[in-house]
Structure 1
Amino acid sequence: MSVLRGANAYAAVGLESGILAASPYQRIVMLFDSYQAAIRTARLHMQVGDMAGKGKAITSAIKIVSRGLRGSLDMERGGEVAANLDQLYDTVVRLLLRANLHNDEEVLDVAASLIENIGSAWRQIGPRVEGEDGDVASAGG
């Protein structure tokens, strides 16, 4: 096993352990952070003309939104907030698809900004809500 492969395996185990040990609030924060990292990566690939890398990074961002953030919504308990977030996440996915198709950094920036606004709000309210019932992901993640 190469040193690089060993380091990657170690990092993957560390990330998985971190996710398993994280609270529901922390897992959502990790999704927001991972999303922004994927957007930054997509932007860099777009700027240097690496279309395969750009596509892979945008696909990663789409999965984070559609499977992670959107998948964490509890439409019954989250009510109108969850419904609004669901619509916003749908809009973000559409923007990401358009940015990928047209190599449009401005659209990518809009998609990044929309999620960052939600992420900022989540970071501000999360610690207060987390102590209440321990399951903030159901509130609308």
Structure 2
Amino acid sequence: MLYSHVLVAVDLIDECRSVADHAMALAKALDAKLTLLHVVEPLAMAYGGDVPMDLSMLQQQQFDQARERMKAFAGDYDLPEEHLQIAFGHPRHEIHRVSTEQNCDLIVVGSHGRHGLALLLGSTANDVLHGAPCDVIAVRLGKKGKK
């Protein structure tokens, strides 16, 4: 079998549905397992690390919201809860870590520019590609009607 376990990294906005759609179609065609991953970045990373207050409560709320959004998002794909992963950290590192731990042989990410998925995967899509422990497919987003 070419691929037996596909990991798709999503940021849980509507635009990333096309990434999940591609990954789901690919996994179904290959009769492969699909794992859906969302990475929650530490708030200190988003603010340059120099935040003079405790962000742990806000971070927990962000993580809890991500869990609820992930369940709703995954419900559209009939994915069981054990196929859902939420990680905390730098997206590139967490995507690589989860793909290694889960024995994934393909990673699917979205890529399109400086907004939307760029908040999670903008330059990270390139990082994921070059440091990945397996093959990577980048699904181009934001090009509706263009070929």
Same fold flag (TM > 0.5): no
With the length of structure 2 as denominator, give the TM-score of the two structures.
Answer: 0.30
Name the TM-score, length of structure 1 as normaliser: 0.31
- Could you say which structure has the higher strand fraction? 2
Q: Which structure's CA Rg is the greater one?
A: 1
